Amino acid sequence: MKFVATPLAGVYVIDIEPVADERGFFARTWCEREFREQGLKSELVQCSISFNIRRGTLRGMHYQDKPYEETKLVRCTRGAIYDVLIDLRQESASFMQWVGTEMSADNRRMLYVPPGVAHGFQTLEDDSEVSYQISEIFHPESARGVRWDDPALGITWPQAVSVISERDRCYPDFSR
């Protein structure tokens, strides 16, 4: 796997390194040792998927607060998404900055999301599916979010939002 640092501290785009032959290819998408060697949290306790029927669906911006902060490894396994991460760690040099990247079933790209970084995405195609590997069990009492269109964050989404949950639409603006 290739780990590519982003402008957000501790956030990585991860590309597979396929070994191809006449059958197709084989590639690792997870290796505890390689993650540990990069200094990344390598414990996984839960895997989830998100299936999204319509293009333009927006999910986010989510994170889990202390004491149940979580690390996520996110990958689009069907269709395509525009994935956004926001650094909400006040001590971070990239505090309040965001980064976005296109992930698809075709490019097989993954994102490593450390604790304190909010995550969300917008589907670019109908019938898009996202897979999550997560370091912490979900604790509803620690679930938090910030509004996807908070003017202080200035996120540029690639298209108009066609579907969004009431919860995601009504998150408050982020307050320092």
Catalytic residues, by residue number, are: 62, 132
Structure tokens at 46: 């839960």
**Rounded-to-integer distance, Cα 116 and Cα 10, Å:** 10
**Rounded-to-integer distance, Cα 21 and Cα 162, Å:** 41
| Amino acid (1-letter code) at residue 126 | D
CB atoms within 10 A of CB 78: 16
- Which letter does DSSP use for residue 159 in this model? S
Whether the Cβ atoms of residue 61 and residue 50 lie closer than 8 Å to each other: no
Side-chain-facing half-sphere of 40: CA atoms under 13 Å: 28
**Rounded-to-integer distance, Cα 118 and Cα 168, Å:** 12
